[in-house]
Every structure is written in C-alpha cells, then in structure tokens.
Amino acid sequence: MVRRLNLADKNFERDFAAFLALDRDDGADVAGAVAQIVASVRKDGMVAVVALTRKFDGLDPDQTPLRVGADEIEEAVSACDAEDLAALEFAARRIRAYHEKQTPSDLLYKDDVGVTLGWRWNAVDAAGLYAPGGRAAYPSSVLMNAIPAHVAGVKRLVMTTPTPNGEVNPLVFAAARIAGIDEIYRIGGAQAIAALAYGAGPIEPVDVIVGPGNAYVAEAKRQVFGRVGIDSVAGPSEILVVADGDNDPVWIAADLLSQAEHDPSSQSVLITDDPAFADTVSAAVEVQLSESPRAEIARAAWRENSAIIIVSDLDEAPALVDAIAPEHPELAVANPETLLEKVRHAGAIFLGRYTPEAAGDYVAGPDHVLPTARAARYASGLSVLDFMKRTSIIGCDAQSIGAIGPAAARLADAEGLPSHAKSVRVRLKSVDE
C-alpha cells in the first residue's frame, strides 16, 4: 500500500521529513566507470568512441557509419505514421511559439553620472543534445531540447543517440529534422557526452550539453560540467496533485500513474482535504495498475516512493508543495489561481481539472525538461536562456571616471591591489590636469 500521512497527526513532521529524505537513487555507483570512459575519449578521441560503441551498443562502425546521413533521416521520416508526424509538427509549433517569447532583450543606457552601462545577449556557438535510443526513445524530448536552442540562435546543433544493435526509432530522427538538427551520431552513454564535450574525430566540441539519459549519461554530464555547460543532472520523475473531492478519481489516478510509469524510482503524491476521495483515488490506482502494460514499474514507484497526504484545508497545501518542490504539481481545484499565488517552488505548475501533466510533456509549449529532486527550490526548467550568455557593458568618459574612480581606487587600496588602484588614478590625474 502507498504510504499515507495526515497533517493533523502528532508525528506528521517526523514522517514527512522521512518522506522528503527518501533515497530514490537506483544505488548504482557509476562515477568510477564513467571517469574511465570520459578519460579514454578525451585521450583517444574517436578510436575510444568506436571501441565503446562496439562494446556497449553492439554496433560495428565499420559496417554502419556513426554519422547518420541525410538519406537515412529522410528514410526514417518516410517510415513514420503520418498522424504521428503531424502531432510532432503540431507540438513543435507550440514549443517554438512559447520559447520565442523568452528571448531576452539587450540594454544600453547612461546612468546619472554619465557611465555607459548595459548588457548584451548572445547564443553559444554549438549545443549538443543527447537523445536516448532504441525502445527508450522519446522524440518529444528531442523537440523540447533542440527548439529552445534553435530559438536562442545556436548555429550548430549536434545530436547523439544510441542505436543498440542497429535499432532505430524513426520518430527520433523525424523530430530532429523538424527541430533543425542535421548533425546526428549513433553514439550513446557516457562516451557520447565525452565526445560532445571534448570532441572526437569529426565531432567538434560543443559549448552546452542537454538531454535526458541513464545514470551513466547523468554522471558524465556531471563530470564534464565546467568544460561545457549542462542543463541539469536530472533525477527520477515526480508529480504532485492537489485535488479536492469534486474531481473524478479515475482522472487523478491516471495523473499519478503518468509519472509512476516512467521508472521504479519515480514519485507520485496526492494532497487532498477529503479522506474518502483519497480512498477512491487509491482504489482507482490499483485498478489502473492491474490494466497497465507498465504495471511492474509503476507499482514499484507507487508503493515505494509515493504518498497520499491528508490536510484539513487545501490552504495548507502550498506549504507542503514548497517543501517537496516537485517537478510537476497539478492544482486540480475549482480556483487554482488562488493556490498558484502561494506556491513558490515548482518545476511547472498545471492549473485546473482539465490540465494533465501529460499535456505539458508534449504539446502545451513550455519545456518539459524540469528540475527534480527538490531542485525547484533554486533551479528552473530548460529555456532559451540555457543556450545564451549575457555580457556586461561598461563605458566611462573623463567626467564619469572622475565621478566613480576615487571610490574604486580606495577599494583597490583596501584590498592590497596597488596596480588596480593605479590604473584608475592615472586616469583621474589626467582628468584633473
């Protein structure tokens, strides 16, 4: 049975703290193995990549070129169902339209003493996208990772995706074409991340690496961070539903399982002020689990990592939401805007009874790459800004350096940096003369 907590219980704080402290990591210690792979690719480049691709993916680069050709991309697109392609293109248009509104503006102005100040935004030169391959492929993630980069103005987009034993998901290649990616390599795992970060043969290094992956991919991104920027080191998926008793329990159960079916380490939480409704949702979950082809995965997530929390009033929910800082909170209540104003820590918030999290995964528009493992306390979802950097602009003339220079020189003296101070004072002296 799923754990059940009640805010009114005397031991709630203890039990809730224990729930927050659950270790949902799969327990795999991959850091050492990943460090060896990264070092090998950094040292030997494409030679190491080829050997590792043979070893881990069962693919012989002598028989199948690592770079995916334009003809193969077109062939994959032709193999896709027309309605699937239409859905991808529909999603892409909505994702692009949303992210175009995120593009920041430059600014240049003079302050009250005449110093020119401002900032300028530029896209990085190149971005790498990791896309899981084989049966675990997610074409929606290709769109969500590549389109913000394209909107930001990144000129070179590179995608790596494993094709274990030659297995290809045509929709992944179709999504890449729709998103504007034409440099694609059949490389997976930590070796793909290392190749993107350090370069390998024809793969030139990129500046930012994004995209989901297994524990090896996540650890590789952690290890190359600093050499390149990364989106995040993502943890297991999460959903939290705040729901009153006026909801259909079947709907809420489906929403909770929509994340539980990702992985046994996923987490689903229901917060409600109606204990009887909680019972009906719990029963509906069991029914849907019995019908799900992913029942083993979802059942483990539901029973090991998830919870139902009973509150006396839904006004108590926002504080709990903020403490959990979930990836996907749904506010399935009559007036979700009231709760929305009070929630501060969340990846993406879904408003009302007719907004399932799955709408955000595919077609709503905002990015579905979101902070997990309570990282929403300090982090945001993927956006155009992850592919841009801001450069500050400062300009002084004789009058304005005269206004701000004495304080700068004084602070340099206080920090024991005489050349700093002199670089200011020689200019002040010319102004005085």
Q: Give yes or no for residue 363 having a pLDDT over 90.
A: yes
User: Which residues, 6 or more positions from 220, have their beta carbon under 8 angstroms from its beta carbon?
Assistant: 34, 37, 38, 189, 190, 192, 193, 194
**pLDDT single digits (tens) 144-183:** 999 999 999 999 999 999 998 888 889 999 999 999 998 9
Q: How crowded is residue 36: how many other Cβ atoms within 10 Å of its Cβ?
A: 11
- In the beta sheet, which residues pair with residue 134? none
The continuous run of DSSP H or E covering 62 comes out as none
The residue from 328, 330, 345, 368 that is catalytic is 328
Say how far apart CA 162 and CA 226 lie, in whole Å: 25
Ordered by where they begin, the domains of the chain are 3-24+235-364 (3.40.50.1980), 31-104+131-230 (3.40.50.1980), 396-432 (no CATH)
The residue from 183, 327, 330, 357 that is catalytic is 327
Which is nearest to 89 in space by CA: 350, 361, 362, 355? 362
416 dihedral zone (left: phi>0; alpha: psi -120 to 50; beta) = left
Say how far apart CA 24 and CA 22 lie, in whole Å: 6
Which is nearest to 164 in space by CA: 10, 6, 56, 286? 56
Which pLDDT score is estimated for 235? 85
The DSSP result for 395-408, as a single string, is E--HHHHHHHHHHH
**pLDDT single digits (tens) 108-150:** 999 999 999 999 999 999 999 999 886 667 999 999 999 999 9
**pLDDT single digits (tens) 201-252:** 999 999 999 999 888 999 999 999 999 999 988 889 999 999 999 999 999 9
Residue 430's pLDDT band (cuts 50, 70, 90): confident
Q: Give yes or no for residue 84 having a pLDDT over 60.
A: yes
Q: Which two tokens stand for residue 106?
A: 């430059």
Residue pair 301/266 in contact (Cβ under 8 Å)? The answer is: yes
Which pLDDT score is estimated for 24? 82
**pLDDT single digits (tens) 331-341:** 999 999 999 99
Residue with tokens 């689990």: 289
* Mean pLDDT calculated for residue range 16-40: 89
83 is catalytic: no
Which is nearest to 252 in space by CA: 323, 346, 348, 350? 350
262 is catalytic: no
Residue 429's pLDDT band (cuts 50, 70, 90): confident
